[in-house]
Amino acid sequence: MKKTLLSALALVALSGAVTSCGKEQNAAPQLTGNTSVRATATPVVEAPAGSITSDSLALVDLFNSLNGMEWSYSNNWVSDRPVATWAGVKVSDVAGAPRVTALYLGANKLRGELPKSIGQLTALRTLQLQYNRELTGSIPAELYQLTQLRSLRLRFTSLTGTLSPSIGQLSQLDTLDLSNSRYDLSMWWNGDPATAKEHRPNGKTLSGELPREIGQLTKVRYLDLSFQGFTGALPTEIGALKSLKYLSLYGCRLSGELPASLGALDQLEYLSAGLNDFSGELPASLGSLKSIREIHISGNKLSGSIPASLGALKTLQQLNLAGNQLTGSIPAALSQLEGLYVIDLSRNKLSGSIPTDFGGAQQELLLAANLSHNELTGAIPARIKRYLPEAAKYAHIHGLPDYGYTLFVLSGNKLSGTIPAEYLAYPKTLSLLLPQQTGYGFTNQPK
């Protein structure tokens, strides 16, 4: 079918573009069968440039450019049916006129490069193109003209090139998901580490330095850039994202010091910056993240001591600083993290003794503490008995007590003394204590 004929069919569809008006949908529709997205009302203060006619022509060009005939869901596209009935297209009333306000084309076998005409969809608020591994090329400059965007999801695609400073123009964004796969998407790795070696590294990623203009996305709450090929320093402007709740930079190639401005993100609940090349010290300002629940900064080159300020994070549930070059002792202040479930400080150069109250009765939620492969000395922490909630439900399991302990992983250190009886009662957990470094160990350890 020729492009001119497709364009004509699209124009025929305009006469019935809006079929109903009502409240805006809260969730993205699922593209299954004959499902289509009907028009709903979206209040907009000022009408963006363009019309339903220009929107329709842009959709036709998108269909042509991305191999629309092979899409999984293309019901009613480039037909004489109203645009509002085209699969994955949402048409809403914008300032009294029908406009395309959302495209839900995730996992739809899109193939090819995004056309420049994407920039004609000026009323677009949601663009979801994720899980299309054959979506290639760079992000067109015209996409950054879509200043009404609230949600942009391009994860698990094969887009390459850099992230333009023009990203700052998308100042209304609430969600920006550019995350990718560690391994070649054509291999369809399922995430199982046991099969990772059978897969090639993903060479189709975004690259270059993160633009400072990313700090202009002051309304963004969800930002995921994981497993892209970004290099250079993390811009200090990241601290301007005051609405941010979720930030993942995992598996990029970022370097330099973590900016102290991260401490200004007082709404942040999740921070992942692991598997990069960050160096220098952990900023003490992280102790100001009053809403934080998880911090994952493993697999970097961080040095210096762990800031005692982290002990002020009353909402913190998980702390992972494994695989760095951290030195000094474990701050006693970490014993004050009463909401902590899991802590991993393994594979560092920490020294001194384990704080007396670490894993004590005040940390009643602490399930696991991995302190292995450091330079820790002194005795094993006392095991504090913790009663399990709803233990009666598991009473049928032979030998299961109605209490538990914090699971300490302490092998590879310089600990000495005796192994407390509470540990010896559960031989299976002894492997988490042994062996210690050469020349160190316990007087009563099993032979």
pLDDT at 386: 74
- Compute and round to an integer the Cα radius of gyration of the chain: 27
pLDDT digits (tens, 9 = 90+) for 63-120: 999 999 999 999 999 999 999 999 999 999 999 999 999 999 999 999 999 999 999 9
User: Which of the four pLDDT bands, split at 50, 70 and 90, describes residue 383?
Assistant: confident
pLDDT at 13: 44
pLDDT digits (tens, 9 = 90+) for 195-254: 666 667 777 899 999 999 999 999 999 999 999 999 999 999 999 999 999 999 999 999
Buried b (16+ CB within 10 A) or exposed e, 333-345: bbbbbeebbbbbb
Q: Work out whether strand 89-94 and strand 97-104 pair parallel, antiparallel, or are unpaired.
A: antiparallel
Distances (CA, A) of 291 to 29, 244, 262: 31, 11, 13
Largest Cα separation within the chain, whole Å, is 87
Is the confidence at residue 272, as pLDDT, over 90? yes
Q: Which of 50, 175, 172, 176 is nearest to 117 (CA)?
A: 50
> What are 99's strand-pairing partners?
92
- What whole-number percentage of the chain has pLDDT above 70? 83
Cα–Cα dist 224/155, whole Å = 9
pLDDT at 268: 98
Buried b (16+ CB within 10 A) or exposed e, 22-38: eeeeeebbebeeeebbb
Determine the distance from the C-alpha atom of residue 242 to the mean position of all C-alpha atoms in its chain, rounded to a whole number.
17
pLDDT at 151: 98
pLDDT at 426: 79
Tokens 């099969």 sit on residue: 195
Cα–Cα dist 89/76, whole Å = 10
pLDDT digits (tens, 9 = 90+) for 156-197: 999 999 999 999 999 999 999 999 987 766 655 565 666 666
Contact 226, 251 (CB under 8 A): yes
Indicate the pTM of the whole model: 0.86
At residue 30, the 3 state secondary structure works out as coil
Q: Work out whether strand 386-387 and strand 403-404 pair parallel, antiparallel, or are unpaired.
A: antiparallel
pLDDT at 161: 97
pLDDT at 423: 86
Query: Would you give the end-to-end CA distance of the chain in angstroms?
Result: 78
Please tell me the least confidently modeled range out of 194-203, 380-389, 404-413.
Answer: 194-203
pLDDT at 405: 81
User: Which of the four pLDDT bands, split at 50, 70 and 90, describes residue 349?
Assistant: very high
Q: Which residue has the higher pLDDT, 390 or 379?
A: 379
Average pLDDT, the chain: 87
pLDDT digits (tens, 9 = 90+) for 46-64: 789 999 999 999 999 999 9
